[in-house]
Chains A and B, each alone.
Chain A
C-alpha cells in the first residue's frame, strides 16, 4: 500500500487555509470537501458495491433533519446530534436496502425505488408539523465551536475535512478488506458471489447502512453550515444528482474519484457563477462539460491520472 498519496493530500488539505486565506477560498475548500464526502458516500454503495441509487438525498435529508430536530425540539447539542444523524442515516439505509433487496430489486429498479423513497421523505417532511413543513427549519445563531457553529469559517473547513478524510479512509480500507472484496464481487456478478459463499443480501444491507451513515454526516454538516434546511433542498432530486455526478465524473469505485470530481465540479460551478452575466449560462457550460467528460472519459477523471502513472511506470 502506498501511503504517500493520502498523506500528501491530507497535508495539502491541512495547509490550504493558511495559504488561501480569503473567505471565498475557504468557502470553496469547504464545498469541495463537502461534495467529496457525499460523493464518496454515494460511491461506496454505487461504485464499490454497484448498487446505483438515484435517491441518496434520502440519507442526506435524514441526517440534516435528525440533528436539527434534536437541537430544536429536544435541546441536544449538535455534536452528539451529528453522531445521531449518522445512526439515523445507517438505519434508513439498512431499512431501504432490506425492503428493496428482500424483494430482489436490482439495477435500474433499485435506482428507481431509492428515488421514490427520497421523494416520499421530501413530501412527508413537507406535510408534517414537527419538521417545520415547507417552511423548513431555522437553527438559531449561537456562534461557538461547542455549538458546531464556528465563528470563523476555518473551523467549518477543518470539521468537513475530518469527515471527508473519514470517508476516504473508509474507501481505502474497503480496497484492502474482505468486506470490500465481497462488495466488488457483488458488483461484478451477484450469482457468482452467492455461489462462492457470500451472503449478498446481508452485505448489500451493510453497505447501504454505511453509505447512508456517511451521507447523513454530510446532511448534518450542511444544516450547521447554512443554519437552514427545507425539504426541497435536502431531500430534493438535485442533491441526489449532485452526489452521483461527483462520483461519476471523478470515477466510480475508486478511492479518489469523488474528491477529483468534486474539485472539478465545484470549480466549474463557482467560476461560471461568478463570471457569467447571462442567466443560465453557467448551467450550459456545466452541462457541456459533463457531456464532454462522459463522452471522452467514461470511467471518470481518475483515468487521466492512471494513464500518467502507467506511462511513468513504463519509463
Chain B
C-alpha cells in the first residue's frame, strides 16, 4: 500500500528525517512510535505533501507521489488528520464532514447523507448540528477522523488521535478505529498512548532522530533494548535488566 524509501527532510542543520524507510501493508493497522521530537509528524507531513522531502521516495499503491501537493495525494486515497485538531471552527459538524464528502460528489444531498453515515460510524451522530468550535477535545478528535474518512481514503494517517483523551474516551475510540480497518481502509497511526498501540497495531515502527531504529510486533518492541534506550537514554536497558534480576 505505502512504500517509503530513504526519506529525508532537512531543516537548516537539523535532519528531522534521516533516510527513513518503511512499508505499510494493505488491510493492516501499522503504528509509528518514537520519543518526542523524533520526526513522526514531520514524516506524516512529508508523506502527504505538506512538506516536500529533500531525499527519498514515497510510493502509494505503486505510484510515485513524492512531493506531490496535498490535495492530489488526498485524491489518490491517502489522507491525514492533524495532531493539533484543525476544525472548520464556525461550521457545524455536518458541514465539516461534508467538506470531505464533497471530494467525490458535487451533490449536496449525497454529501450530507454521507456525513450522517460517517458521523454514525465514529459515534458523533448526535453532534451533527453542533458548531465545531463548541466541541470537546474528544469531539474534535473524532471530527478529524470523520472528515478524513469522508474523503473515502484507502490509507488513513492518524496523528495522535488518542492524545489528550481520558481512558474511557480511549476505550470508545479503539473499536472505532478497528471498525475502519474492517471496512477496508488501511490505517497508519502515530500514537503515544501505548494502550492504543498495543491493542490496535500489528506492526510498529520506531522512529528516533529521524531514523527507523526498530520494527516489529508491539509486545516484542516493548522489550527491545534499542527501543528502551531511545526513550529512556543510553544504558537504560542494561539498568532495567539489572534491576529485574536483583
> B-contacting residues of A (Cβ < 8 Å)?
176-178, 181-182, 184-185, 188-189, 191-200
Max count, chain B CB within 10 A of own CB: residue among A185, A194, A195, A198: A195
The verdict on B16 contacting chain A, using a C-beta distance below 8 Å, is no
The verdict on B71 contacting chain A, using a C-beta distance below 8 Å, is yes
Given A195-B80, A197-B79, 7 more contacts at CB 8 Å? A181-B95, A181-B98, A191-B50, A195-B48, A195-B70, A195-B82, A196-B100
Alpha-carbon distance between A298 and B81 when the two chains are bound, in angstroms: 32
B86 touches A191 (CB 8 A): yes
Alpha-carbon distance between A198 and B104 when the two chains are bound, in angstroms: 11
Max count, chain B CB within 10 A of own CB: residue among A181, A188, A197: A197
Q: Which of B90, B95, B103 contacts A197 (CB 8 A)?
A: B103
Nearest-neighbour CB distance to chain B for A206, whole angstroms, equals: 14
A196 touches B148 (CB 8 A): yes
A193 touches B99 (CB 8 A): yes
For B66-104 the 0/1 string (1 means CB < 8 A from A) is: 000111001100011110001111110001001110110
Given contacts A178-B108, A181-B102, A197-B71, contact A192 B95 (CB under 8 A): no
State the majority secondary structure of interface residues on A: helix
A178 touches B86 (CB 8 A): no
Q: Tell me which residues across on chain A come within 8 A of B100, comparing CB atoms.
A: 196-197
B99 touches A194 (CB 8 A): no
The verdict on B147 contacting chain A, using a C-beta distance below 8 Å, is yes
Given contacts A188-B88, A188-B89, contact A198 B69 (CB under 8 A): no
Given contacts A178-B108, A184-B91, contact A192 B75 (CB under 8 A): no
Nearest-neighbour CB distance to chain B for A265, whole angstroms, equals: 25
A189 touches B88 (CB 8 A): yes
- Chosen A-B contacts, 13 in total, with CB atoms closer than 8 Å, are A177-B106, A181-B102, A188-B87, A188-B88, A188-B90, A189-B88, A191-B50, A192-B82, A192-B147, A195-B86, A196-B103, A197-B74, A197-B79
B106 touches A194 (CB 8 A): no
Q: Tell me which residues across on chain A come within 8 A of B89, comparing CB atoms.
A: 188-189
How big is chain B's contact interface, by range?
A: 20 to 34
Given contacts A188-B91, A189-B89, contact A182 B102 (CB under 8 A): yes
Alpha-carbon distance between A176 and B102 when the two chains are bound, in angstroms: 12
B71 touches A199 (CB 8 A): yes
Given contacts A184-B95, A195-B79, A197-B103, contact A178 B111 (CB under 8 A): yes
A176 touches B88 (CB 8 A): no
Max count, chain A CB within 10 A of own CB: residue among B50, B81, B86, B99: B99
Q: Tell me which residues across on chain B come within 8 A of A185, comparing CB atoms.
A: 88, 91, 99
Q: Which of B95, B106, B151 contacts A196 (CB 8 A)?
A: B151
Q: Tell me which residues across on chain B come within 8 A of A198, comparing CB atoms.
A: 71, 99, 103
Alpha-carbon distance between A101 and B10 when the two chains are bound, in angstroms: 25
Q: Which of B49, B88, B106, B151 contacts A184 (CB 8 A)?
A: B88
Q: Tell me which residues across on chain A come within 8 A of B103, comparing CB atoms.
A: 196-198
Q: Tell me which residues across on chain A come within 8 A of B106, comparing CB atoms.
A: 177-178
Q: Tell me which residues across on chain A come within 8 A of B74, comparing CB atoms.
A: 194-197
Alpha-carbon distance between A196 and B69 when the two chains are bound, in angstroms: 12
Q: Tell me which residues across on chain B come within 8 A of A178, comparing CB atoms.
A: 102, 105-106, 108, 111
Alpha-carbon distance between A182 and B151 when the two chains are bound, in angstroms: 13
